Chains A and B, each alone.
Chain A
Amino acid sequence: MQWVELTKEAISKTLETMFFTLVEFNGTDEGSAYENADKISSHIKLSSDKTSILIVISIAESFAFQMAADFTGTIVDKVKREDAEDCLREFTNMVGGYCVNSIGGRYSLGLPEIGFPSEIGDPNQCSSFSLFVLGEKFGEVAVCVVQSK
């Protein structure tokens, strides 16, 4: 699916450029601490006349705190939950923006929001993949195609 590959590219580029993190998309979920970890999710909608694309990014809370610390140049102990959420929201914004830029601006970019979108009705519309760093899973991404009303 083209959108999945494009989203992976956007995540890779954004994490590398602004968060100094090299992400991998292959690894094993087995025995991963991620499944039991507290998570933070954010989503953004890319809209065209016919379809909308929803990108939903969920990451382990501890990783979100580390991301926020790395991003703003502070230490993780100084990061508050709202900072981590703001950072994830901005990360999602940049991922969405990168996708729109890559396809020549045919989609308009919505505002990123924390939490899951309410408009995903059928899970079959979504393709998911995991995010790993140094072999450790830290997040999941769902890319959903929704027909515009």
Chain B
Amino acid sequence: MSYNILIVDDSSSMRKVIRKILQISGFDVGEIFEASNGKEALEVLDSNWVDLILSDIHMPVMDGYKFLEELKKKEDFNHIPVVLITTEGDESKLQKAMSLGAHGYIRKPFEPDQIREYLKGIMGEPVYAVGGIDEGSDF
């Protein structure tokens, strides 16, 4: 089963980095969608099937906490695991995010393997060796 993944981050550079990590992760990744804040993410969810969400917390327009709250209200989406990739350092705020339904969190700066470990917990074992896809390479 391939997983469609939604990346939510206000930084286009960070979205590109996470996309590349996913593409060479070795996991069966289907479509990768992007949104620059929680509001855009909800719009993506309205019209696409998503199996996993990787989301930042500190974003303009709608931040990660509000996004989790909105997600929780929607029966169609509240089963989707959300992993937060964030600079948030306040443990109590991260616990609040967990209570709002986040599956877990990774702190920036992060090593690509930290994302792979989370994917493994959700998606199971990789289907091919790391670095097996050259999609999107400039070379």
B44 to chain A, nearest CB (A): 20
Q: Chain B, interface size: which category?
A: 20 to 34
**A68-B13, A72-B17, A87-B13 known; A96-B87 Cβ under 8 A:** yes
Contact A86 B138 (CB under 8 A): no
In chain A, what residue has the closest Cβ to B86?
A97
Range class of the A interface residue count: 20 to 34
How many pairs of residues, A versus B, come closer than 8 Å at their CB atoms?
A: 76
Q: Given the complex of chains A and B, what is the CA–CA distance between A101 and B110 in angstroms? A: 13
Name B83-118 residues within 8 Å CB distance of A.
86-93, 107-111
- Is the C-beta of A105 less than 8 angstroms from some C-beta in chain B? yes
Contact A109 B13 (CB under 8 A): no
**What 1/0 mask marks residues of chain A from 46 to 71 whose CB sits below 8 Å from any chain B CB?**
00000000000000000000001001
Chain B residues in 8 Å Cβ range of A93: 11, 58, 87, 108
Secondary structure of the A contact surface, majority rule: helix
Most buried by A among B17, B108, B111, B137: B108
> With contacts A108-B90, A109-B88 known, what are 9 further pairs, Cβ within 8 A?
A18-B110, A75-B138, A90-B13, A93-B108, A100-B88, A100-B89, A100-B90, A105-B90, A111-B60
